[in-house]
Structure 1
Amino acid sequence: MLAAFLLLFSSAITVQAEPVETVREGDVLLEADRIYREFEDGPLIAEGDVRAASGAQFLRADRVVYDIAADTVTAQGNVAVRSEDGQLFFGEDVVLSSDLRNGIVAAFAAELPPNGTLGAATAIRRESGTNELRKATYTLCRVCDEGLRRDRPTWQLKARRVIQDENKKKLTFRDAFLEIYGVPAMYVPYVQVPDPSVDRASGFLAPQIGSSSVRGTEVEVPYYWAISDYQDFTFSPRHFELLGTQWKGEYRRNTWNSSAIVQAGIIKPTNDLSAEGGNPDNVRWHWFSKYRRELPAQWTLEADVDAVSDQGYLLIYDLEPDGELQEEIGILRPDRLESNLTFDRRTENSFTDVSAWLFQTLRVREDQAFTAQALPRIRHERYFDGLGGNFTLGGSFLTLLRDDGLDSMRGSGHLRYERVKLTRGGHRFETFGELRGDLYTYRDADLGTQACNVDDRAYDACRMMFPRGGNEESFSVSRFLPTVGAEWSYPLARIGENASFIIEPRVQAVVSPDESFADDVFNEDSQFFQFDTVTLFDYNKATGLDLWEGGQRVNAGVSTTATFGQGVTVNTLVGGQFRAKSSDAFNDNTGIGEVQSDIVGAVDVNLGSNFAIDNRFRIDDDTGSFRRVESLVRGRLGRLSGRLNYLRIESDDFETDQVLDEFLVVSAALKVTKNINLAYSQAQNLDSGSTTNTQLALRLANRCAGMTILYRFDDSTVPGFQQDRELLFRVQVLGFN
Structure 2
Amino acid sequence: MSLGRRSAYAKRGLLAGAALMVLCGAAQAQEALRPAAASPDGLAPGQLYMEADLVIRDDKNKTTTARGDIVVRYQGRTLRAQELVYDEARGLMRARGKTSIVNADGSVEYADEIVLDDQMKAGVATGFAARLPQNVKLAAASAVHRSEKVNELNRAIYTPCEICAPDGTSKSPTWSIKADKVVQDKDRQLVYYRNAVVRILGAPLVFLPIFWHPDPQAERKSGLLTPELSPSNRRGLSYEQPYLFVISPHSDLTLSPQINTKVNPFVNVHYRKRFYSGAVDARFGYTYDKDFDNDGDRFGDLTSRSYILASGAFAINDKWRWGFTAERTSDDLLFDKYEIGGVYESRGPYIADDRRLISQLYLTRESQKSYVSAAAFSIQGLRPGDNERTFPIVAPLIESRWEAPQSIAGGRLRLRASAVALTREQSPVNAPTLRLDGLDSRRATAEADWRTTFTTAGGLRISPYVQGRIDAYSIDDNFAGGVGVASRSDSMTRALGVAGLDVSYPFFKRYNSFTAIVEPIVQLAASPELKQIELGRNAIGDLVYLNEDALTFEFDETNLFRPNKFPGYDLSEDGLRANVGLRGSILWDDGRRATLLVGRSLRNERNEAFGAGSGLRDKASDWIVAASAEPLPGLSLFGRARLDADSLDVARAETGANVSSKWGYGYVRYLRDRSNPNALAGSTKVENLDLGGEVYLTRNWGLSLYGNRDLQQDAWVIRDIGVVYRDDCTRIDFIYRKEDTILGRLGPSESFTIRLTLATLGEPLYGN
Residue number in structure 2 paired with 1:388: 410
Cα deviation digits, residues 113-140 of structure 1 (max 9, x gap): 7866655556654235434555443445
Kindly state the Cα deviation for residue 498 of structure 1 after the two structures are TM-superposed: 2.9
For residues 331 and 429 of structure 1, the distance between their equivalents in structure 2, rounded to whole angstroms, comes to 37
Alignment of 1:321 with 2:342, yes or no, is: yes
- Does the CA-based 8 Å contact 2:659-2:667 persist in structure 1? yes
| Contact preservation (8 Å) 1:63, 1:77 | no
Aligned equivalent of 2:625: 601
After superposing the two structures, state which structure 1 stretch, 206-215 or 222-231, moved more: 222-231
Match of 2:372 in 1: 352
Residue aligning to 1:549 = 573
- Per mean C-alpha deviation after superposition, the further-off stretch among 117-126 and 274-283 is 274-283
* 2:279 aligned partner: 259
Residue matched to 1:417: 450
Q: CA deviation at 1:343?
A: 1.0
Partner of 1:214, secondary structure, is coil
Is the contact made by 1:155 and 1:178 (CA closer than 8 Å) also made in structure 2? yes
Question: Which residue does 1:20 correspond to in 2?
Answer: 55
Amino acid at match of 1:537: F
Deviations 1:559-603 (Å, cap 9, x if unpaired)? 111234644432111111111111111110111021111111112
Q: Which amino acid aligns with 1:487?
A: D
Comparing 631-640 and 176-185, the one that deviates more: 631-640
Counterparts of 1:432-447 in structure 2, within 5 Å, are 432-446=465-479
Amino acid paired to 1:620: D
> In the TM superposition, what is the alpha-carbon distance from 1:291 to its structure 2 partner?
2.0
CA–CA distance in 2 between the matches of 1:413 and 1:728? Answer: 56
Given the superposition, is the C-alpha separation of residues 206 and 678 from structure 1 closer, same or farther in structure 2, using an over 3 Å criterion? farther
Please point out which of 495, 502, 505 is paired with 2:510. 495
**In structure 1, what is the equivalent of residue 425 of structure 2?**
403
* 1:73–1:97 CA contact under 8 A, matched in 2: yes
CA distance in structure 2 between the partners assigned to 1:112 and 1:492 by the alignment: 57
Partner of 2:179: 159
One-letter code of the match for 1:690? A
Q: CA deviation at 1:172?
A: 0.6
CA–CA distance in structure 1, aligned partners of residues 439 and 299 of structure 2: 24
Aligned partner (choices 668, 684, 691) of residue 709 of structure 2: 684
Higher mean alpha-carbon deviation, 71-80 vs 429-438, is at 71-80
Deviates more, 1:526-535 or 1:478-487: 478-487
* 1:504 partnered with 2:516: no
Larger RCO (CA under 8 A, 6+ residues apart): 1
**1:691-706 map, 5 Å:** 691-702=716-727, 704-706=729-731
**Cα displacement (A) at 1:705:** 4.3
Aligned to 1:667: 692
* Structure 1 residue 161 displacement after superposition: 3.7
Classify the secondary structure of the residue corresponding to 1:315.
helix
Q: Determine if contact 2:244/2:253 at 8 Å carries over to the other structure.
A: yes
Counterpart residue number, 2:191: 171
8 Å contact 2:439–2:476 — kept in the other structure? yes
2:499 to 484, 489, 497: 484
The verdict on how the C-alpha distance between 1:685 and 1:150 changes in structure 2, with shifts beyond 3 A counting, is farther
- Is 2:366 the partner of 1:342? no
1:286 equivalenced with 2:286 (yes/no): no
State how far apart, in whole Å, the 2-side matches of 1:621 and 1:634 are.
31
Q: Structure 1 residues 301, 279: CA separation in 2 closer, same or farther (over 3 Å shift)? A: farther
> Take 2:318 and 2:117, find their aligned partners in 1: how far apart are those partners?
62
Query: Contact conserved, 1:208 with 1:730, CA < 8 A, in 2?
Result: no
Q: Distance in 2 between matches of 1:300 and 1:549?
A: 35
Range 576-585 or range 206-215, more displaced: 206-215
Shift of 1:527: 0.8
Contact 1:408–1:441 under 8 Å retained in 2: yes
CA distance 1:304–1:710, shift in 2 (3 Å): farther
Is 1:712 the counterpart of 2:718 in the alignment?
no
- The question of whether the paired residues in 2 share the 8 Å contact of 1:340 and 1:357 is answered with yes
Residue 174 of structure 1, CA deviation: 2.2
Aligned residues of 1:117 and 1:138 also touching (Cα < 8 A): yes
Q: Aligned runs of 1:556-575 on 2, under 5 Å?
A: 556-564=580-588, 566-575=590-599
| TM-aligned CA deviation for residue 545 of structure 1 | 0.5
Counterparts in 2 of 1:135 and 1:705: CA distance versus 1, 3 Å: same
CA contact (8 A) 2:277 2:314 kept: yes
Matched, 1:533 2:548: no
Instruction: Decide whether the 8 Å contact of 1:566 with 1:608 is kept in 2.
Output: no
Q: Any idea what SS the aligned residue of 1:137 has?
A: strand
Paired residue for 1:731? 756
Q: Distance in 2 between matches of 1:137 and 1:731?
A: 20
Q: Higher mean Cα deviation, 488-497 or 302-311?
A: 302-311
The secondary structure found in structure 2 opposite 1:314 is: helix
Alignment partner of 1:592 out of 603, 613, 616: 616
Q: 1:247 to 1:681 in 2, by over 3 A?
A: same
Q: 1:497–1:4: structure 2 CA closer, same or farther, 3 Å change rule?
A: farther
1:613 aligns with 2:634: no
Match of residue 583, structure 1, among 607, 613, 625: 607
Q: Distance in 2 between matches of 1:695 and 1:671?
A: 16
Aligned pairs for 1:430-469 within 5 A = 430-446=463-479, 463-464=481-482, 469=484
Residue in 2 that maps onto 1:473: 488
Aligned partner (choices 378, 382, 391) of residue 371 of structure 1: 391
The offset of 1:202, in angstroms, is 4.1
CA contact (8 A) 1:209 1:729 kept: no
For residues 87-122 of structure 1, the C-alpha deviation after alignment (integer angstroms, 9 at most, x for no partner) is 998766877667664466665556777866655556
1:41 match? none
CA drift at 1:272: 2.9
Larger mean CA deviation between 647-656 and 160-169 belongs to 647-656
CA distance in 2, matches of 1:600, 1:272: 48
Q: TM-score when scaled to structure 1?
A: 0.82
Answer whether contact 1:503 1:561 (CA < 8 A) is retained. yes
- CA separation of 1:484 and 1:189: change in aligned 2, threshold 3 A: same
Q: Shift in Å at residue 547 of structure 1?
A: 1.4
> Once the 2 structures are TM-superposed, how far is the Cα of residue 196 of structure 1 from its aligned partner?
4.9
- How far, CA to CA, are the matches of 1:555 and 1:211 in structure 2? 56
- Quote the Cα distance in structure 2 between the aligned partners of 1:110 and 1:503: 61
The 8 Å contact of residues 113 and 197 in structure 1, kept in 2 or not, is answered as no
Which residue in 2 is equivalent to 1:209?
229
Larger deviation: 711-720 or 278-287?
278-287
| Aligned-residue offset at 1:310 | 2.6
5+ residue gaps, structure 2: 1-10, 21-47, 427-437, 536-544, 763-768
Decide whether aligned partners of structure 1 residues 400 and 183 sit closer, same or farther in structure 2, where only a CA change above 3 A counts.
same
Partner of 1:31: 65
Query: CA 1:117–1:472 in structure 2 vs 1: closer, same or farther (change >3 Å)?
Result: same
Of residues 131-140 and 108-117 in structure 1, the stretch that sits farther from structure 2 once superposed is 108-117
Report the CA distance between 1:675 and its aligned residue: 5.1
Distance 2:71 2:60 in 1: 13
**CA-to-aligned-CA distance 1:636-655 (integer Å, 9 cap, x gap):** 46514322211111127999
Displacement, 1:237?
3.2
Stretch of structure 1 that moved more, 546-555 or 205-214: 205-214
